[in-house]
Amino acid sequence: MIPNLRERLRTISSNYHSRVEDIDGKTTRPAHGSLGGHIIETRWGKHVLKRTEVPLGYSYGNIPFERVTHINNPVEHKWFGLNDDDYRYNITDLVFLDTETTGLSRGAGTLAFMVGLGYFNEHCFVIEQHIMRDFDEEFSMLNSILNTLNNRKILISFNGKSYDYPLLENRMIINHISPHINHKEFHIDLLHIARRIWSTMLESCSLISLEKNVLEKHRAIDIPGRDIPGVYYKYLQDRDEAAMNIVIEHNSNDILAMVALFIKLACMYKDHRTSHLHCQEWFGMAKSFEAQGDDEMSSYCYTKSIETGSTPYTGMAARNRLAMLYKRRGQWKPAIKLWKYMVDHGGNFMITPLIEIAKYYEHHEQNYEKALKYTDKAIKRLTHMRIARNAPYGMDGINEIRHRKKRLERKRKSVNEVF
C-alpha cells in the first residue's frame, strides 16, 4: 500500500468533498422493502415486479382506452412508419415500453433501473414495472422482461428508437444476455410521428407537453425526468421508498400517456374524413402522408389545412407544399392557381411562387414574355427585401435568378429573330 494514499486521494479530489458529509461508514445497505410490488425470485436472481391492471373503461385525458378495439389495421401501418403491410396485428400484440435510467448520457455505463412494460389482454390493460433495488438485481430484471417483450410483435415507445431501446440493448450485451430483444422492424416511436404533426403547433413535443395540449390531461404529482437518477441514487443510500414511489407513478403515467397518444394518432388517421382538427394538425398530417408517398391523403389534408386556416403562416405553407405536390404530379392548373394566390396575398417575401410561375411559362408554354415578367418581379422583390432587412438573402439565390433572366432574354431574342 502506498503510504497515505487516502490523504493523496483527498487532496486531488477535493471537488467531491461536499458530497461526503452525511456518510457514516459503510454505504451499501441492502433493500428490504418491495416498493409497493412483489419481490420475485427468478432463475437469474431476484428483483421487484409491480403489476397494475387498468380496466378498458379507463380514460387517460380525453382518450377512452376502449377505442383501441376500433383501430382498423393494417391500413395505418404506413402511418406508424411500419414496413410490413401485410401483417395484421391484434391489440394484444402491442407492447409499450418506458425505462427510468441512472443517468441521462448515452454510454455503456448508464443503466435502466426500472423497465415499465404495458400490454392489452382480453379484459384489461396491464402495466408491469420491473425494478432493480440494487445493481446486482439487473440481471434478473433484464432476463425477466425478455418474455413479455419478445412475445409481442409490436413495440411502442416514446423516443425509444434513440434512447430506451439502444440502452436496453447495451445492458443486455454487458450482461451477456443473448439473443435479446427482437423488435427492430416493428417499433413505433410515437415521438417521431407526434413531431411531424405537432411540432409547428406546440413549443415542445415532449410527452408532458403533448399530454397537456393534445390529450388534455394534467398530472397531479410528477417529477421532472432530469431529477430521476438522483432519486434512485438517494434510494440506494437511504432506502426511503417515498420518492421512489413518485418515480414509479411517473413511469406508469408515461406508459398510459403513450397508450392514449397511440389511440389518438390511430383515430386521427381512421377518422380523418370526419375529424375536426386544427389547421396546423391538418398540415402536420399532410406532411406525414406526403413523407409516406400518399399523395391523395396528403392533398386532402393540405386542402383541409387551407380551409380551416386561421394562421396566415400555415395557410401559405400548406399552399406552397400543395402546389409543389401538384407540380410533381403534373397538375399545372391548380398549381398555378395556388402560386398566383400566394403572389397576390402572401406579401413581398413570396419569391418561390414567382420563380415557379416563371419556370412554368418558360418550360411549358414557351411564353418568355410572361416568364420574364415574373422573373423581374422576383428580382425586384428580392432586392427590395435585401435592402429592407439589410441581410444577405444568399447571393446564390439572386445570382440564379439573374442567370434565369439572362437566359430568358436570350430566348426571347431568338424567338423574335425567327419571326
In the complex, which residues of this chain contact another protein (CB under 8 A)?
1-2, 5-6, 8-9, 11-13, 16, 19-20, 23, 27-28, 102-109, 111, 134-136, 169-170, 173-174, 229-230, 233, 236-237, 392
Decide whether 13 or 310 has the Cβ nearer to another protein.
13
Which residue, 174 or 291, has its beta carbon nearer to another protein?
174
> Counting beta carbons within 10 angstroms of the beta carbon of residue 9, is it exposed (0 to 12), middle (13 to 18) or buried (19 or more)?
exposed
- The x, y and z cell numbers of residue 118, run together, are 404495458
CB of 115 to another protein, least distance (A): 17
In whole angstroms, the minimum distance from the beta carbon of 13 to another protein comes to 7
225: phi then psi, degrees, rounded to nearest 5? -55, -35
Please, are residues 322 and 306 in contact by the beta-carbon 8 Å criterion? yes
CB of 323 to another protein, least distance (A): 31
| Min separation Cβ 149 and another protein, Å | 18
- CA-to-CA distance for 183 and 186, rounded, in angstroms? 5
Strand ranges (E), 56-123: 59-60, 63-64, 94-101, 112-120
Least Cβ distance, residue 172 to another protein (angstroms): 9
Torsion region of 150: left, alpha or beta (phi above 0 gives left; psi -120 to 50 gives alpha): alpha
Q: Three cell numbers at 387?
A: 435592402
d(CA 263, CA 269) in angstroms, rounded, equals 10
Whether 129 contacts 248, CB under 8 Å = yes
Cell of 350: 413570396
Residue 164 · residue 190 · CB < 8 Å: no
CB of 312 to another protein, least distance (A): 32
Between helix 352-363 and helix 312-328 the angle, nearest 10°, is 20
- How far is Cα of residue 178 from the mean position of the Cα atoms in its chain? 29
Taking the complex as a whole, how short is the minimal distance between the CB of residue 166 and another protein, in angstroms? 8
248: three-class secondary structure by DSSP: helix
Q: How far is the CB of 226 from another protein (least distance, A)?
A: 9
b/e per residue, 88-118, with b = 16+ CB within 10 A?
Answer: ebebebbbbbbbbbbeeeeeeebbbbbbbbb
Q: How far is the CB of 8 from another protein (least distance, A)?
A: 6
Which residue type occupies 288? S
For the record, the C-alpha cell of 416 comes out as 423574335
Distance CA 89, CA 27 (A): 49
Please, which residue, 167 or 214, has the CB nearer to another protein?
167
The residue (of 6 and 329) whose beta carbon lies closer to another protein is: 6
* CA terminus-to-terminus distance, the chain: 102
Q: Bridge-partner residues for 63, per DSSP?
A: 60
75 vs 104 by CB, closer to another protein: 104
Q: Which helix (H) or strand (E) holds 41?
A: strand 38-42
Pick 386 or 412: Cβ nearer another protein: 386
Q: Residue 229 or 353: which CB sits closer to another protein?
A: 229
Question: Is the CB of 134 or the CB of 294 nearer to another protein?
Answer: 134
Q: Of 220 and 387, which has the nearer Cβ to another protein?
A: 387
* C-beta of 105 vs 310, nearer to another protein: 105
Q: How far is CA 284 from CA 163, 317, 329, in A?
A: 24, 11, 21
Look up residue 102 and give its three cell numbers: 441512472
| Residue 51 or 234 having the CB closest to another protein | 234
Tell me how far, at minimum, the Cβ of 73 lies from another protein, in Å.
Answer: 31
Cβ 42 to another protein shortest distance, Å? 15
